């Protein structure tokens, strides 16, 4: 996830949805990737969805939790 801005400009997709859990050990790297992507010359749109007070893979540990359901709904809506 440490690609150069010029590499990001060549992404082949038109949209990107990025999820991050606030307590995830990868949070800083994921947010940096999001910011780099926004600054690149990539022509697509990107959305960052932050889940506060959650850890890595939280949505798999409590499948029926409100945040997990919101995350699934957001993911499915993104693909429509």
Paired tokens of 43: 């022509």
pLDDT of the residue at 59: 87
pLDDT (0 to 100) of residue 1 = 54
User: pLDDT by residue (tens digit) across 27-49?
Assistant: 999 999 999 999 888 999 999 99
Mean pLDDT on 1-14: 75
**Residue 55: pLDDT band with limits 50, 70, 90:** confident
Domain boundaries defined on the chain: 5-78
- 3-state DSSP assignment of residue 15: strand
- Report residue 33: phi and psi, to 5°: -60, -45
Average pLDDT, the chain: 87
């Amino acid at each position: 996830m440490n690609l150069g801005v010029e590499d990001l400009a060549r992404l082949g997709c038109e949209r990107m949805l990025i999820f991050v859990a606030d307590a995830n050990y990868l949070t800083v790297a994921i947010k940096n990737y999001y910011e780099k992507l926004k600054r690149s010359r990539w022509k697509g749109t990107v959305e960052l969805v932050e889940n506060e007070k959650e850890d890595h893979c939280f949505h798999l540990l409590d499948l029926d939790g409100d945040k997990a359901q919101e995350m699934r709904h957001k993911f499915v809506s993104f693909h429509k």
